[in-house]
Amino acid sequence: MSALKFEDQKFPENVSINDYARLAEQFIPGRRSIFTIVEAAFLELLPEAPARILVVGAGGGEEILRLGENNPQWSFVGVDTYEPMVTLARQRLATTPIGARAEVHVATIDSLDDKNFDAATCILTAHFVPDDGAKLDFLKAIHARMKSAAPLAIIDGVGVAGDDTTELLRRIWRRHAMLNGVTPEVANMNAENFSKLPVVSEDRLVQLMTKAGFTRLTPIFRGIAIKGWLAFA
Ligand SMILES: C[S@@+](CC[C@H](N)C(=O)[O-])C[C@H]1O[C@@H](n2cnc3c(N)ncnc32)[C@H](O)[C@@H]1O
């Protein structure tokens, strides 16, 4: 089975890319907390001096908006492979002062010339990359663009399709979204999409990150089937 791409996810006809920010809030447990935790981690780890943050899977612009809001000392370079999500990010950033400190490219991480980043984020993106060598290369490409010992905040879906615990968490995920106002139709389509993502177990993701060169993997978040770590380049 080939991995489902972000842009190939099925949604009802009346749901557009512009609904992404609202839907993400409804679906992703602790969506706001994720950004607050990542901001707190970077405030703790980065010096007061200006810092450049690499945002992998920057589509929609959420992490740049949230991390940038109260931190004028941080600037952002984002990459995302899906042009409509980059357009959405640019549009949202253009209406705020953060836009002047941010650039978002339609690009893969391995094609980005820029490097020596002080920190990086990879939020809900690595789980779109198949574990056929591509996920390891993707993590290595992030690592290669970071300064030595710089922190990466990675938040990703975890699980093993068919495993009892994973399947239970997926059913809870669907109900959680409906309790947050998502219609059953959209929740069902999302559940179907989720089952096609090349999500891997926590152990496998840790193994891949370690192989890619990251150290001191430090769990910072867990919400149903989403797990987050800090890892150091
Ligand atoms: C679920 S969205 C998350 C966006 C953002 N990080 C957030 O939390 O709002 C996943 C994003 O990853 C992007 N994406 C998927 N595969 C990618 C890849 N290999 N490299 C860069 N971006 C990718 C998609 O285009 C999409 O915009």
The CB of 60 under 6 Å from ligand 1? The reply is yes
3-state class (DSSP) for residue 142 = helix
pLDDT bracket for residue 2 (50, 70, 90)? low
The CB of 21 under 6 Å from ligand 1? The reply is no
- Give pLDDT tens digits for 56-98: 999 999 999 999 999 999 999 999 999 999 999 999 999 999 9
| Confidence at residue 191, expressed as pLDDT on a 0 to 100 scale | 85
Question: Does position 1 have pLDDT exceeding 50, yes or no?
Answer: no
Residue 67 alpha carbon to ligand 1 centre in Å: 17
The CB of 190 under 6 Å from ligand 1? The reply is no
Pick the atom of ligand 1 nearest to 123's CA. 6
Strand-strand pairing, 215-223 and 151-157: unpaired
- Give pLDDT tens digits for 160-193: 989 999 999 999 999 999 999 999 999 998 888 8
Is the pTM value of this prediction over 0.85? yes
Answer with the residue of higher pLDDT: 230 or 9.
230
Residue 124 phi, psi dihedral angles, 5° rounding: 55, 40
Answer with the residue of higher pLDDT: 51 or 17.
51
Pick the atom of ligand 1 nearest to 20's CA. 9
The CB of 104 under 6 Å from ligand 1? The reply is no
Question: Does position 30 have pLDDT exceeding 90, yes or no?
Answer: yes
In CATH, the number for domain 6-232 is 3.40.50.150
Domain extents for the chain?
6-232
How far apart CA 125 and CA 58 sit, in angstroms, is 9
- 176: Cβ contacts below 8 Å, ≥ 6 apart: 27, 29, 224
Pick the atom of ligand 1 nearest to 55's CA. 6
- Return the residue whose CA atom lies nearest to atom 9 of ligand 1: 62
